[in-house]
Amino acid sequence: MSDFDTLRQATPSKSDMASRVQIRHAVDMATKDDLPNRIRELRERLGLSMAQLGVRIGVEGSTINKLEKGETQLTTRWMTRLAPALEIDDPVEIIRPISNLRTVSVVGYVQAGQWREAITWDDEERYGVIVPRDKHLDGVRLEGYEVRGPSMNKIYPEGTVVIIASIIDTEEAFIPGKRYVINRQRGDEVEGTVKTYHVDESGRRWLTPESTMMEFQPISLDDGHNEDTEIRALGRVMYSVRRE
C-alpha cells in the first residue's frame, strides 16, 4: 500500500469487489511525491526550459525544478495548472502509470430528502478524483457525486464520493442489486439520491435505501409515487471513493 499522506479508498461496486484499490483523492491535500512524474519528459518534448514552463504557469524556473525532483509536493492543483502548459488534456498524464489511471470530475452532491434547484455545482466548486482505468469504460462518461446524509450509510459513509457511468452512454437496463444515482424532479426542484435497484418476488421494481434510519423508505418505480415527480437514473455506481 502506498504511503500517501492522504488516501481515499476506491472500491468497485458491491458485486465487483474482487479487488480493493487504494487511490488518492485528488484535492490539494493529496500529494504525488511518491509517484514518478513526467514533468521533465513532457517539458522537453515541447522544447521548453524550466524557466519557460514557469512563465506559462506564473512561477520561477526553480519551482519547476523542485516539482520535477519531487522536492515540492505535486498536488492536484499543481497538476491542473501544469496540464495546459504541458499541452495535455488530462492532468493525470503527469504521473505514472498513465494507462492505469483516470481522472473523474466530482460535479455535485446527492442527499435524500433535500430538494433544491440543482444537484450539480458551479465549475469552480468541482474537483477531480483519480480512479483505476477500466478499458470497458473507455468512451463512457464518468462523473462523481458526494454522498451526504444517512440514507445509504450502511454502504456509503457521509462524504463518500460515488463515481457513476452515464446510463445514456452505457445504454444498459437496470440491474438488480446495483446502485444508481437517481434524479427526482418535482416542479422546479430536484432531489439527487443514491439507491439500490431491487425487484421483489411479485416483479415490482424498487429503489431502496440502505440506511440504519427507518425514515428512509423504498421508492416504487411502478406505483405509489407522486405523479408530479419524474424519476430518472443518471448512472450506475462503478466506484466509491472515501477517506481512509
Contact of 239 with 162, CB cutoff 8 Å: yes
Q: Stretch 130-142: mean pLDDT, rounded?
A: 88
pLDDT of residue 94: 87
pLDDT of residue 86: 93
pLDDT of residue 226: 60
Nearest to 127 by CA among 241, 22, 237, 33: 241
Alpha helices per DSSP H over the chain = 39-45, 50-57, 61-69, 76-85, 167-170
Instruction: Tell me whether residue 215 is exposed, middle or buried, using C-beta atoms within 10 angstroms of its C-beta: 0 to 12, 13 to 18, 19 or more.
Output: exposed
More confident call, 165 vs 223: 165
Nearest to 61 by CA among 71, 50, 72, 70: 50
Of 8-17, 159-168, 220-229, 231-240, minimum mean pLDDT range: 8-17
pTM: predicted TM-score of the whole model, two decimal places: 0.64
Domains and CATH numbers, the chain: 8-99 (1.10.260.40), 101-243 (2.10.109.10)
Angle at which helices 61-69 and 50-57 cross, to 10°: 110
Contact of 25 with 129, CB cutoff 8 Å: yes
Instruction: Tell me whether residue 57 is exposed, middle or buried, using C-beta atoms within 10 angstroms of its C-beta: 0 to 12, 13 to 18, 19 or more.
Output: middle
Fill in the DSSP letter of residue 136: G
Query: 67-102: b or e for each residue (b if 16 or more CB lie within 10 Å)?
Result: bbebebbbbbebbbbbbebbebeebbbbbeeeeebb
Residue 7 has pLDDT above 50, yes or no: no
Residue 1 has pLDDT above 70, yes or no: no
Digit-coded pLDDT (tens) for 34-56 = 456 889 888 988 889 999 999 99
pLDDT of residue 15: 34
Give residue 140's identity as a one-letter amino acid code.
Answer: V
Digit-coded pLDDT (tens) for 60-119 = 999 999 999 889 988 888 988 999 999 988 888 888 655 677 888 899 999 999 999 999
Contact of 197 with 180, CB cutoff 8 Å: yes
Distance, in Å, from the CA atom of 102 to the CA atom of 59, rounded to the nearest integer, reads: 27
Residue 147 has pLDDT above 90, yes or no: yes
Residue 153 has pLDDT above 80, yes or no: yes
